[in-house]
Structure 1
Amino acid sequence: MKNWSLMLAPLGFVLCGMGILYLKMNPNGGPLPAGAVPGSLNGFLWLAGAALPALFLQAVIIRRREDTVLFPIVLMLAGVGVAEIARLKPELMIRQLQWIIVGMLVLLLVLRFWGHIRRMLDYPYLLGIGCVLLLGLPLLFGTEIGGSKNWLVFGPISIQPSELGKIVLVFFLAAYLSDHRRVLTLPSHRFLLLRLPPLRFIAPLICIWGMAVLMFVVERDLGSALLFFGMAVLMTYMATGSKSYVFLALVFIGAAAAVSYAMFGHVRVRFDIWLNPWQDPNGMAYQVVQSMFAFGTGGIWGTGFGYGHPGFIPEVHTDFIFAAIAEEMGLVGAMMIIACYVMLFWRGIRVALAVRNEKEMLLAGGCSCLILLQMFIIIAGVTKFLPLTGITLPFVSYGGSSMVAGFLLLGVLLSLSKEQEHG
């Protein structure tokens, strides 16, 4: 009985979508203007097309005795994202469903070929070189979209190499830190109050920190820079337990930020907007100001689905979709979304603690932290807790690269949870 209930959990995804299609009416009672909503028949067909592989995947997960909670949580987040995109950008709803289907196919491939994928952990330096190459592609061939030069455009398709690069980074850190943990935890040099190993052992970490700063300055991609830097620091601390690395990293990024602020105009603009968005509320700070208005308008219970005005926020379906959720679903809805990410993190950490292999333990912990950290950075950006970033809310925001990368991470966590009992 328990297996049947778990297998039917993904049906909530299609029921949510069908409900949105049915209720997608003007608040005054009449239909929306012509062309504002995609054809209902197409919508139902694509929802069914997303539900069938979801049911199949959940059955596979149950049969393989993997974590049966992770996938339904992700589908819940994806369902909320589809509902919001149908509300904000109706013409993109079917495209988002298509990306979700592609993501589930990628997830199935990861589950099927995990035995081959895990062998990458045996080649940390190749992973490091691959990560550098992925992050360097936009510098050579990138196209600037939304103020950040971190896109590769191939005709009608645009991808973000950093989305795949962050996964390669987690694999590299898990492999490298595991291989050198003993050296990194037995420092031989003292510098002031810090205890550090020889430079050659921390050089790869400093290289990653430098890449993060380079992404910020050259590609103008603050979100990915914070994400890469944060992951390097978190995983290093997970592997070594040394506060010296954390302190050294904070000093490094602080000095780099000060130099960047003094030398580059676009860096000054980002920080000045963060410190005081009201100095240019109709210009560079327009998005942040409108996002703050949306949070204030939503209050605790929200304005109600379809009754808010999130359309005032540019790019609300990508970077600022959380502001739209907070406006129409209120603090309660926003906290439920955050709770889903916390649950994902908790289940991922349980997987990590149950894995006996040290590399795979770090890999599971890194994947879990990556999802939670990305959620924190984008929500902190739209609430003005941190400078505005250009990353997406995992599984919720519109975007193909982000969706596929999210399902790749999910596939890794599910594969590592195999044969583990989860209550």
Structure 2
Amino acid sequence: MKRVWILRLLILSILWVGLGVLALDGKANEQILWQAGVFSLLLLIGAALEKLVAYQGDPFLLPTVQMILVIGLVFITRIRPASALKQFWWACLGLFIFYCVLYALRDYRALGRFRYLSGLGAVVLLLITLLFGVTQGGATSWLHIGGMGFESEELVKVAMLIFLASYLSEHEEVLRVGTVQIGRLSLPDWRTLGPFLVMGGFSLLLLAAQKSLGTALVFYSLYVLVLYVVTERVLYLGVALPVFLSTGTLGYFLFSHVQVRVATWLNPWGDPSGGGYQIAQSLFAIGGGKILGTGLGNGIGASQVPAASTDFIFSIIAEELGFAGAMALLMLFLVVVLRAFHISIQAADRFGQILAAGIGILVGTEAIIILAGVTKLLPLTGIPLPWVSYGGSSLLIHFLLLGILANISHGSATGPLYVKNKGREYAA
């Protein structure tokens, strides 16, 4: 209990010290401070609720994410105070969703019953977005309903994870060993591998048609890595790499905006005031931070780097907190991924193991792709940094996934002693 309150007080200290510095600089107004107070109260109520209902899951998972979240809230306030007003409300709603999923979802294994419904729902949602969605930033990934917009791809991630975990948990043995012999290779039959490939192929084709290539890269990485983790067959990685290179090359020749991004990635200094402006300013901001940073509110990247509160928020953090602060943020993401893998190992059933590992892989993949983009290791993709970048859709969905992960952890500690598996029971 003492540890829970110490962690929460540390998190709130970071939040209020940051907002205090920004208030002195005129960035954090009274309305933001009031909303931060509501968020702080909700955070403390949540900590008390964990004790009240005897939560026995991973004690470090939520505090680590809350630490990441408050860093994002402080920097969104520093960059765009008007956006921070909305982000605080999204953060409060995200915490509410987390606790609802954690305690209202009685048995996470019930999610596995909706395997094909989840997969079909993901494909249908992508198709609806392609036909009726709104194009922003070159990609058709937004749906507007009743004057409110949301990024449908975020919800598709949840559906796809449920499909993957359920499908792979049932067909794991065949996918690992294979039933069809081709030379020295033993491959799964089409009846087993077909639905997996069809669902993944349709999803990736629809994302490519939407020109949402960043999300397509996340989905492809998720499919391949989860399949490898479950089967431990290097063969699947060997097949996935040439497929990725060939489809990437095809996408380069089909989409002009991909050609621009690749050219900018290869040489942003060829047009530093035009096409290369974003990445050039990002690199200037990161380099200007040096070891300890310029100090909160003292960097110039917040006013110079485009999309500073969304795609390039890490660049602003690296400038004002320096290499030390940037590495601290990366370590927090690493802790989240490692805790997810630890929960996966401890899970009482195979569905929970795969689902927990998939959530960890998803968060890690998203973080690596966006951070590689802003540091010029990969072409820019435009996906948000989980729990840090401004945006309600990403924030709420990642709290939903976090709630499922915590539910698996809590269920592993308090669940039934026996788990049914294909009609048999074995000790969990």
For normalisation by structure 2, the TM-score amounts to 0.90
Equivalent residue in structure 1 for 2:294, among 303, 308, 311: 303
* DSSP-derived class of the 1:184 partner: helix
Equivalent residues in 2 for 1:17-96, closer than 5 Å: 17-24=15-22, 32=26, 37=27, 39-40=29-30, 42-62=31-51, 63-96=54-87
Equivalent residue in structure 2 for 1:388, among 380, 383, 397: 380
CA distance in 2, matches of 1:190, 1:64: 49
Larger deviation, residues 173-182 vs 205-214: 205-214
Per-residue deviation, residues 211-237 of structure 1 (Å, max 9, x unmatched): 454355322222211111111011101
How far off is 1:142 after superposition? 1.0
CA distance in 2, matches of 1:123, 1:420: 21
How far off is 1:160 after superposition? 0.6
Aligned residue in 2 for 1:272: 263
- Paired residue type of 2:276: A
Larger deviation, residues 72-81 vs 274-283: 274-283
Q: Is the 8 A contact 2:175 2:188 kept in 1?
A: yes
Aligned residue in 1 for 2:426: none
Q: Is the 8 A contact 2:204 2:219 kept in 1?
A: no
Closer, same or farther in 2 for the Cα pair 1:75/1:57, shift >3 Å?
A: same
Equivalent residue in structure 1 for 2:196, among 177, 191, 205: 205
Aligned residue in 2 for 1:323: 315
Closer, same or farther in 2 for the Cα pair 1:193/1:209, shift >3 Å?
A: farther
How far off is 1:353 after superposition? 0.6
Larger deviation, residues 113-122 vs 141-150: 113-122
Q: Is 2:281 aligned against 1:290? A: yes
* DSSP-derived class of the 1:386 partner: coil
How far off is 1:290 after superposition? 1.0
Q: Is 2:112 aligned against 1:131? A: no
Q: Is the 8 A contact 2:19 2:28 kept in 1?
A: no
Per-residue deviation, residues 87-134 of structure 1 (Å, max 9, x unmatched): 100111121110001001111110122126531202321111011122
- Paired residue type of 1:140: L
* DSSP-derived class of the 2:144 partner: strand
- The root-mean-square deviation of aligned C-alpha atoms, in Å, is 2.1
Q: Is the 8 A contact 1:213 1:256 kept in 2?
A: no
Closer, same or farther in 2 for the Cα pair 1:322/1:193, shift >3 Å?
A: farther
Q: Is the 8 A contact 2:98 2:403 kept in 1?
A: yes
CA distance in 2, matches of 1:340, 1:45: 27
* DSSP-derived class of the 1:10 partner: helix
Aligned residue in 1 for 2:306: 314
Aligned residue in 2 for 1:178: 169
* DSSP-derived class of the 2:227 partner: helix
CA distance in 2, matches of 1:297, 1:39: 28
Equivalent residue in structure 2 for 1:14, among 7, 12, 35: 12
- Paired residue type of 2:223: A
CA distance in 2, matches of 1:89, 1:184: 49
Q: Is the 8 A contact 1:217 1:267 kept in 2?
A: no
* DSSP-derived class of the 1:378 partner: helix
Closer, same or farther in 2 for the Cα pair 1:282/1:216, shift >3 Å?
A: farther
Aligned residue in 2 for 1:418: 410
Closer, same or farther in 2 for the Cα pair 1:213/1:132, shift >3 Å?
A: closer
Q: Is the 8 A contact 2:126 2:207 kept in 1?
A: no
CA distance in 1, matches of 2:109, 2:47: 22
Closer, same or farther in 2 for the Cα pair 1:340/1:359, shift >3 Å?
A: same
How far off is 1:360 after superposition? 0.7
* DSSP-derived class of the 1:180 partner: helix
CA distance in 2, matches of 1:258, 1:193: 30
Closer, same or farther in 2 for the Cα pair 1:54/1:6, shift >3 Å?
A: same
* DSSP-derived class of the 1:153 partner: strand
CA distance in 1, matches of 2:3, 2:178: 52
* DSSP-derived class of the 2:106 partner: helix
How far off is 1:39 after superposition? 3.0
Q: Is the 8 A contact 1:174 1:359 kept in 2?
A: yes
Closer, same or farther in 2 for the Cα pair 1:112/1:219, shift >3 Å?
A: same
CA distance in 2, matches of 1:263, 1:66: 47
Q: Is 2:231 aligned against 1:240? A: yes
Closer, same or farther in 2 for the Cα pair 1:294/1:207, shift >3 Å?
A: farther
Closer, same or farther in 2 for the Cα pair 1:89/1:338, shift >3 Å?
A: same
Equivalent residue in structure 1 for 2:367, among 364, 375, 378: 375
How far off is 1:202 after superposition? 2.0
CA distance in 2, matches of 1:324, 1:128: 37
CA distance in 2, matches of 1:367, 1:356: 17
Equivalent residue in structure 2 for 1:341, among 308, 311, 333: 333
Q: Is the 8 A contact 1:131 1:165 kept in 2?
A: yes
CA distance in 2, matches of 1:39, 1:24: 9
How far off is 1:418 after superposition? 1.1
CA distance in 2, matches of 1:384, 1:215: 27
Q: Is the 8 A contact 2:286 2:318 kept in 1?
A: yes
Closer, same or farther in 2 for the Cα pair 1:296/1:140, shift >3 Å?
A: same
Residue correspondences, number: 411
Give the unaligned 5+ runs of structure 1: none
Aligned residue in 1 for 2:3: 5
Q: Is the 8 A contact 2:108 2:352 kept in 1?
A: no
- Paired residue type of 2:72: G
CA distance in 2, matches of 1:346, 1:21: 30
How far off is 1:304 after superposition? 1.4
For normalisation by structure 1, the TM-score amounts to 0.91
* DSSP-derived class of the 2:410 partner: coil
Equivalent residue in structure 1 for 2:245, among 236, 246, 254: 254
How far off is 1:191 after superposition? 5.2
* DSSP-derived class of the 1:150 partner: strand
Identity rate of aligned residues, in percent?
35
